[in-house]
Amino acid sequence: MIPKLVIANWKMAIDRASVSQFLNEWEASHIPSDVTALIAPPALFLSDIKDITGAALCAQDVSAHELGAHTGEISAQMLSEFNCSHGLVGHSERRLAWNESNALVAAKARRLEASGICPVICVGESKDVRDSGDAESVVAKQVLASAEGLVSAPVIAYEPIWAIGSGEAATPKIADSMHAAIKAALSARFDEPTSVLYGGSVNEANAGDFLACESIDGLLVGGASLKAASFTNICQSVGDRR
């Protein structure tokens, strides 16, 4: 069985004392063997969690540039030196607040791939698009444009914008159907199958329902990943699907 990928996206929502507390409370042995747990801390804290057992490291973002004169940026090479196995790109918070286009997201994903880091490309529709009934075709186009030029299939994180941080998760049925649409769109582009994660108001109560869906290969968890016990319980809910 391919392990489910469960990523903690700490965003900029945690301080150093809370990172220490997370590490103190983290019990690596409680992560099921059929789950790959990843933690995406603010880049400044990558070195604080580098020795964590039972979880791998994920970047929250990356520069589209190579090493050079780019003040404030963090390159894929640097992330690789800090042992990030995966890197998020195209989170809707960045697409919206920093006007990141699909082309820029694809450029960032290519930088990660070139440094041996698996890109996790975030996509998702707005409430208006969902209500219009076009969500699946809009997201399929976003996925293809954001994966432009990649050699291998990326991981995709489907995060409907209206579900992020709202407490209103998509239903497993909506997510399952969207994941199937995303996989179908990418099957013509890449030989290997694509893993698609669901994100948006995932919590301890609903994680098992998502992980039980055939086309949901894992979860991207924001708010509910900030405490070790809650994130661990979410990882453990993979067992609920059996």
The contact set with ligand PGA (CB under 6 A) reads 9, 159, 164-165, 199-202, 220-224
Indicate which residue of 113, 125, 159, 179 is catalytic: 159
* Calpha distance 234→204 (Å, rounded): 5
Is 30 one of the catalytic residues? no
Which amino acid is located at 65 in the chain?
Answer: H
Indicate which residue of 86, 91, 93, 136 is catalytic: 91
By C-beta, is 105 or 190 nearer to ligand PGA?
105
Would you say 7 and 197 are in contact if contact means Cβ atoms under 8 Å apart?
yes
* Shortest Å distance, C-beta 29 to ligand PGA: 25
By C-beta, is 100 or 159 nearer to ligand PGA?
159
Which residues lie closer than 8 Å to 3 by C-beta, 6 or more apart? Answer: 33, 34, 35, 36
* Shortest Å distance, C-beta 14 to ligand PGA: 12
By C-beta, is 6 or 150 nearer to ligand PGA?
6
By C-beta, is 107 or 197 nearer to ligand PGA?
197
Is 91 one of the catalytic residues? yes
* Shortest Å distance, C-beta 3 to ligand PGA: 20
* Shortest Å distance, C-beta 201 to ligand PGA: 4
Two tokens at 233? 């319980």
Residue with the shortest CB distance to ligand PGA: 222
Question: Which residues form the catalytic set?
Answer: 91, 159
